[in-house]
Chain A
Amino acid sequence: MTEVITPAAPVHRGPADLHYLNEHRGLRSWLTTVDHKRIGVMYLWSVLLAFLLGGIFAMLVRLELLTPKKTIIEADAYNQAFTLHGAIMIFLFIIPAIPAALGNFVLPLLLGAKDVAFPRLNLASYYVYVIGALFALGSMLTGGVDTGWTFYTPYSTTSNTSVSMMTMAAFILGFSSIFTGVNFIATIHKLRAPGMSWHTMPLFVWGTYATAVIQVLATPVLGITLLLLLMERVWEIGIFDPRLGGDPVLFQHFFWFYSHPAVYIMILPGMAIISEVVPTFSKKTIFGYKAIAYSSVAIAFVSFLVWGHHMFTSGQSDLATAVFSFLTFLVAIPSAIKVFNWLATMYRGSLDLKAPMLYAIMFLLLFAIGGLTGIFLGTISVDVHLHDTYFVVAHFHYVMMGGTVIAFLAGLHYWWPKMFGRMYSESWARVAAALIFIGFNMTFIPQFIMGSRGMPRRYYNYLDQFQPLHGFSTFGSWVLGLGLLIVAGYLLGSLRKRCDAPGSPWGGMTLEWTTSSPPITHNFETTPVLTHGPYDYSLPGRRA
């Protein structure tokens, strides 16, 4: 590949000058771009679309559960709605949301690099994502899927809905995830700015690195699992089918060997964002840099050793169950290390409660609940009662939505001015953040209560005694949905303005704030050379 080197742009540029969004124009320039920023933006719109679609299914599920019997859809449609909600949210939204959309945009900027290590592979990962998304869409249009996002056998090998195509979709999306992971690891190893050592990298980079390692190590196993499932459906190879001498629990082992680490593919990048937002808005050096950095790696490592906690009630041996339970508790240690270090960073900082920081604080509260309830579920004797109840549903929504999605919103608000060069309305952002916080808790606290009282997950009908709590949960989902719509409103609204964002709207010290907003195509006027750490707010003149 030969590239013409464009001469460096003049140093003083007004907002009307050329940047990565307007230097080239037209659809073709977007579809053939290898610029990590543009690929990040394309990913961003795609995952937001997936979020909208998955959200519509979520609202449908909640609406159906408003009354104990049929509310608006039949049982079969309900099964499809919760399956599609889960599959879309996980494979099309959460997994790519932070690494592939925000990460793609900011990672090279944080490193002071011109691009990721393999720009064409990066574009390929986007196209593979789109192809996977089309397969998922195709599956929805040709009968949908009703197995739940986990595709458990033997139901998934006998269901006559469009499981094969959805399996293909997840298989293809896996490649997209692997491409991103490979690219990021090579980028972090080889493209750090001169002077940036492993211990002066911004913490977002550490989180992304740990995530990328999991993406590379776990996703191939999902690939082969889905391939085996597909072969079971098409050829009846017998591996998961007890009639033919196979073992359905083996599928669960294979599936969770990927999907438990995948939970950390989802949460680690969220934590990575929080590690950037907290010091910037506390105007303080991060507390425990190394502890936060290495705890990401520790989480990635332990994540591979705990998959059996999904099979406590599946006939796994008692010994294995006890070992998996113990290992599951270990995850709490690095997670708590992070939380306490963030709190220590905020302690006696000069807190600036702008939108990104509001979401970061929201993350701390909700993730703490999500994490602690995870310990309930990792405890064998308690899990036997709570397994497959709404308690589990509430737990992982606190981690995935209260954790990752809220962190994604923190990151989106934090880097939005950098990405698009526009400031959004801070007052609307506060209103929306309040609605999201209230709505989220309204939706999911009742689910903890129902779960602890035995309400099973995924059921279409339920006992009358659960109606008030289900009703409250559904009302909460409307508040939550309204909050998210307001976010969409003011963020999209800001795009109609002229570029008004300064290079560094929050006073952050990482390298992305040293270039203009939006950045020029090659990111920096000159290759940045690091003279201070990423969070040196104590340097003379930095502490405003």
Chain B
Amino acid sequence: MSETAAQPGRRAHEPFLQHHFAEPEQQVEAGKIGMWLFLVTEVLLFGGLFVAFGIMQTRHPEAFASAHHHLDRIMGGLNTIVLLSSSFTMVMAVAAAAANKRKQLIVFLVLTLVFAGVFLVVKYFEYSHKFHDGLLPGKYYSFQGESVPGEFMFFSFYFMMTGLHGIHVLAGMGAIGWVLRRAIRGDFSNRYYAPVDLVGLYWHLVDLIWIYLFPLLYLIQ
């Protein structure tokens, strides 16, 4: 009873508090639980691919070892650095939001977006090189040079894993763009910046998946 009576006045100061939550903290914590659970599903989704990759690699070790030499470690390494940097700028963005520094928040979000864009551009060059050489998945594999039978399966995984990861990068860019728009509009303050935080969590996972993909695909022997 008392709560209903007290709400309208207090709620006026909390423009982003949804009606079914009693307190802003409750909303923030619920959001965090939701995001962490979502990240768990992402880990399991990629986990399935990693397991499948591991099993097929033990069945066809020569083909996988030979095929991975076609990948460009310089480009892969560069992209690893780019994504790590983007994670750093994302952390800085969250810190800026928590410190109520709107300008800094905007700058760091833009930087994160730029790094994500660079990642995709590098990936584009890698992909077009593979397309040119016919290093393609499944039945599209048409490489003419020397190779071990079964290399097509490595490229099946390469394209599925990096492709799915690429889609996640795109989705992350969309989410960062949305947060950026809200930051420019002035939605966030040190009292309310949960969306920045949550998008940050998601972005770190996208980064983390690449940290596992890079050695698995580019560096295995």
8 Å CB contact of A526 from B1, B26, B59, B150: B1
B22 touches A2 (CB 8 A): no
Q: Knowing A189-B30, A237-B160, A244-B153 touch, does A5 contact B59 (C-beta < 8 A)?
A: no
**Docked pose: A216 CA to B36 CA in angstroms:** 11
Task: Please tell me the number of chain A residues within 8 Å of chain B, measured between CB atoms.
Answer: 48
18 contacting pairs across A/B (C-beta < 8 A): A1-B18, A3-B18, A113-B20, A115-B20, A117-B30, A118-B30, A183-B34, A186-B33, A186-B37, A191-B21, A217-B41, A217-B44, A220-B41, A221-B44, A224-B45, A231-B138, A237-B160, A246-B56
8 Å CB contact of B138 from A117, A182, A225, A236: A236
Q: B residues within 8 A CB of A186?
A: 30-31, 33-34, 37
A220 touches B34 (CB 8 A): no
Q: 0/1 per residue, A512-531, Cβ < 8 Å to B?
A: 00000000001000110000
Q: A residues within 8 A CB of B4?
A: 8, 526-527
Selected interface stretch from B47-55, B119-127, B204-212: B47-55
List 20 extra interface pairs beyond A220-B44, A223-B45, CB under 8 A. Answer: A5-B8, A178-B41, A189-B33, A190-B30, A217-B41, A221-B44, A221-B47, A223-B48, A224-B45, A227-B160, A231-B156, A236-B139, A237-B137, A237-B156, A237-B160, A238-B156, A239-B52, A254-B48, A522-B19, A526-B4
Is A245 among interface residues, defined by CB-CB distance under 8 A? yes
Q: B residues within 8 A CB of A113?
A: 20
**Docked pose: A239 CA to B49 CA in angstroms:** 11
**Docked pose: A190 CA to B32 CA in angstroms:** 11
Q: 0/1 per residue, B111-153, Cβ < 8 Å to A?
A: 0000000000000000000000000011110000000001011
At the interface, is chain A mostly helix, strand, loop or mixed? helix
Q: 0/1 per residue, A183-197, Cβ < 8 Å to B?
A: 101110111000000
Q: A residues within 8 A CB of B19?
A: 3, 5, 114-115, 522
Q: 0/1 per residue, A233-252, Cβ < 8 Å to B?
A: 00111110000111100100
**Docked pose: A191 CA to B19 CA in angstroms:** 12
B20 touches A119 (CB 8 A): yes
In the complex, what's the smallest C-beta–C-beta distance from B15 to chain A, in angstroms?
Answer: 6
Is A219 among interface residues, defined by CB-CB distance under 8 A? yes
B138 touches A185 (CB 8 A): no
Q: A residues within 8 A CB of B150?
A: 238, 245
Instruction: Identify the interface centre among A181, A187, A238, A526: most chain B CB within 10 Å of its CB.
Output: A238
Q: 0/1 per residue, B150-167, Cβ < 8 Å to A?
A: 101100110010000000
Is A228 among interface residues, defined by CB-CB distance under 8 A? yes
**Docked pose: A181 CA to B30 CA in angstroms:** 13
Report which A residues bind B (CB closer than 8 A): 1-3, 5, 8, 113-119, 121, 178, 181-183, 185-187, 189-191, 216-217, 219-221, 223-225, 227-228, 231, 235-239, 244-247, 250, 254, 522, 526-527
Please provide the 5 A-B residue pairs with the shortest distance between their CB atoms, ordered closest to farther.
Answer: A224-B48, A237-B156, A235-B138, A114-B20, A220-B44
Instruction: Identify the interface centre among B22, B46, B156: most chain A CB within 10 Å of its CB.
Output: B156
